[in-house]
Structure 1
């Protein structure tokens, strides 16, 4: 068995790159599933004046790229809601 320098684990096999035994660990992967509301809240928090995205990401244990993606999705959602609201107002105006 040799010590793998990248992972600090022992591999059962030769140093030529082949492994004769592979252990699969079961259980939680460490990923956290966040609700849409939680993602929207984090994205909104990152939009506050003077706040850095990297600070918000670190605070919530996510990457800044996730926060940027959630911000983009929040903007798209807000645009759709605004258009729907305008259509609804026009429709109600016509019903008068």
Structure 2
């Protein structure tokens, strides 16, 4: 008889020839909340120092979000409000 896998919310159970053997379920981790514009301007991504966001109000009161990436070897520098070379940026100036 072939192995049959039965999956439940809490755990998985391996069924083989009528015997149930508990199998540990892998832990589930929550994904970080996506960035959301709250003020106009440039903002470093809190979860990825190589990303930043531009929040723009085109006059209608709603903020439009543009998601951008720093170039290779660069990270967001809060002190300059731009991307900068990672080896130049002070750790406390990196948003993330």
TM bracket, shorter-chain basis: under 0.3
- TM-score norm. by structure 1 comes to 0.21
Larger radius of gyration: 1
Which structure is higher in strand share? 2
Looking at both structures, which has the greater relative contact order when contacts are Cα pairs under 8 Å and sequence separation is at least 6? 2
Which structure is higher in helix share? 1
